[in-house]
């Protein structure tokens, strides 16, 4: 049996269309999924949309639509964007899917059987942007740090509560493991949990756009309690039950760290379900130093960028330019995208493909031992992937591309007509195409087709300079 690898992204809130910040995370997850398939693993890759809650209901009302009609339309925009970006997921889950509602119901019942749910009254500050109650200590000048343009609401309502406080010791032990990555996020979460945990309000009565709460039909399930369960729902499909508990990686933005590293493990523990292996809580893509978001009016459509630069230029830039696993933010710059495309894809990779294919067509090849390929540090690339250092893995591949360009320049096969030199270059390019397939799949497939036989024809220009 092949080793299982289960990878998920955060499911995106459908109050607005997708932007490049959403896209970055999906590109990373897709690359990790493709890499693990390349290693012969049985991969399940899940992404989707989070479609319930007060914020969605408000957005639907503002658009003059009922919530279901609204979420159906917006979720299609995410599906379209991911198709254009070549995101090859196995399931696009929507929290309005019927199987998800059924799993949520059973999950809540399990937590209730564990004695972890009780009825009470909640009063406090609420950020509709976060769909979360927010404590006084988290406010900055009376505003949510993530959604400073939204007013904080004072809410008081009857609610069912989850005994989150019961799991403080369990969570603190969990943070001694590698569950939360990177370390900076783990330390932030641990510090807050050490200060104490309040029980979590998990139902709402002030609006009705949500999964019916199974313990009381007057309530709907709190959006975060329902949304987190999507990762488990996707593994309850027939034939996919074995993925849960296998190497499971949740890819998340840092604004989701608290929910996925405090609520989620406590919920799973309560329901008697095994925890995932790790959560990776990456930084934001920023634009001029600000988080990209619709509410700040600075969102960049990934579809617009692909139309302008091509899918692999966008994927390559996102994967090469930002340090994913460090947790640090990265500032999106079209100028930098153009520079990387022209200098690395067009000049380095494109010229290698063009020169080698033209010379191989003209002079042919002769099989020999490949001393050039020995310069490829495959073990280092694998190590970087094991540590989720995708930018470093891509850098290592381009280090080898540099070696290939130096080799062709020093050996001068256009003068020597050395068929053995050309054989080494062609065989090396075949390996490069394979290694690049998780990153820039469309271009890698084109390269593979050019060099798949020994009867090579001169390649067209693969990367037009911008």
Catalytic residues: 19, 22, 127, 130, 144, 147, 291, 294
Query: What does the radius of gyration of the chain's CA atoms come to, in whole angstroms?
Result: 25
* Integer Cα distance of 260 and 212 in angstroms: 22
The DSSP annotation for 178-210 comes to: TSEESHHHHHHHHHHHHT--PPEE-EESS---S
The answer for residues whose C-beta is within 8 angstroms of residue 438's C-beta and 6 or more apart is: 30, 31, 32, 33, 34, 35, 38
CA atoms within 13 A on the CB side of 107: 28
In sequence order, the β-bridge partners of residue 13 are 50
Other C-beta atoms closer than 10 Å to the C-beta of 177 total: 11
Lookup: tokens for 269: 């523990």
What tokens appear for 64 in the block?
Answer: 């003059």
Report the relative pairing of strands 91-94 and 42-50 from DSSP bridges. Answer: parallel
**443/438 Cα distance (integer angstroms):** 10
SS3 80: helix
* DSSP labels, 430-461: HHHHHHHTTTSHHHHHHHHHHHSSSS--PPPP
The pair of three-digit structure tokens given for residue 406, joined into one six-digit string:
């130096």
Neighbours of 462 (CB within 10 A): 18
Residue 230's nearest CA partner among 69, 52, 86 is: 52
Going by DSSP bridges, is the β-strand pair 285-287/330-331 parallel, antiparallel, or unpaired? parallel
Distance, CA of 440 to CA of 309 (rounded, Å): 13
Contact 86, 313 (CB under 8 A): no
CB 287 within 8 A of CB 353: no
Distance CA 443, CA 86 (A): 11
CA pair distance 160, 30, nearest whole angstrom: 37
Contact 156, 122 (CB under 8 A): yes
Q: Return the closest-CA partner of residue 373 out of 417, 426, 409, 323.
A: 426
């Amino acid at each position: 049996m092949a080793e299982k690898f289960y990878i998920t992204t955060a499911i995106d809130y459908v109050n607005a269309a997708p932007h490049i910040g959403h896209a970055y995370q999906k590109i990373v997850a897709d690359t990790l999924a493709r890499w693990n398939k390349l290693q012969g693993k049985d991969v399940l890759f899940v992404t989707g949309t989070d479609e319930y809650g007060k914020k969605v209901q408000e957005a639907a009302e503002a658009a003059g639509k009922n919530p279901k009609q609204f979420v159906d339309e917006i979720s299609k925009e995410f599906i379209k964007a991911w198709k254009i970006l070549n995101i090859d997921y196995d399931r696009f889950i929507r929290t309005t899917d019927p199987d998800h509602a059924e799993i949520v119901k059973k999950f809540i019942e399990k937590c209730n059987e564990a004695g972890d749910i009780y009825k009470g009254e909640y009063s406090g500050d609420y950020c509709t942007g976060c769909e979360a109650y927010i404590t006084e200590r988290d406010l900055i000048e009376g505003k949510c740090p993530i959604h400073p343009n939204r007013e904080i609401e004072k809410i008081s309502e009857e609610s069912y509560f989850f005994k989150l406080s019961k799991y403080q010791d369990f969570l603190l032990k969990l943070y001694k493991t590698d569950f939360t990555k990177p370390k900076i996020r783990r330390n932030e979460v641990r510090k807050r949990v050490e200060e104490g945990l309040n029980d979590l309000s998990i139902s709402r009565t002030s609006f009705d756009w949500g999964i019916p709460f199974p313990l009381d039909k007057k309530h709907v399930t709190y959006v975060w309690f329902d949304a987190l369960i999507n990762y488990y729902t996707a593994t309850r499909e027939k034939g996919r039950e074995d993925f849960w508990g296998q190497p499971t990686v949740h890819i998340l933005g840092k604004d989701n760290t608290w929910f996925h590293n405090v609520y989620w493990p406590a919920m799973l523990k309560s329901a008697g379900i095994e925890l995932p292996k790790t959560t990776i809580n990456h930084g934001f893509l920023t634009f001029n130093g600000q988080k990209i978001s619709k509410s700040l009016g600075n969102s960049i459509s990934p579809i617009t960028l692909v139309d302008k630069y091509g899918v692999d230029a966008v994927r390559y830039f996102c994967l090469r330019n930002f340090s994913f696993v460090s947790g640090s933010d990265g500032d999106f710059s079209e100028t930098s995208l153009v520079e990387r495309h022209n200098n690395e894809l067009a000049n380095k990779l494109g010229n290698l493909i063009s020169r080698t294919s033209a010379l191989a067509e003209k002079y042919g090849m002769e099989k020999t031992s490949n001393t050039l390929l020995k310069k490829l540090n495959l073990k280092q690339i694998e190590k970087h992937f094991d540590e989720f250092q995708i930018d470093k893995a891509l850098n290592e591949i381009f280090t080898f591309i540099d070696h290939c360009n130096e080799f062709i320049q020093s050996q001068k096969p256009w003068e020597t007509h050395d068929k053995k030199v050309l054989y080494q270059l062609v065989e090396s390019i075949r390996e490069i195409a394979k290694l690049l397939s998780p990153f820039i799949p469309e271009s890698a497939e084109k390269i593979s087709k050019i060099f798949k036989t020994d009867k090579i024809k001169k390649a067209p220009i693969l990367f037009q300079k911008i």
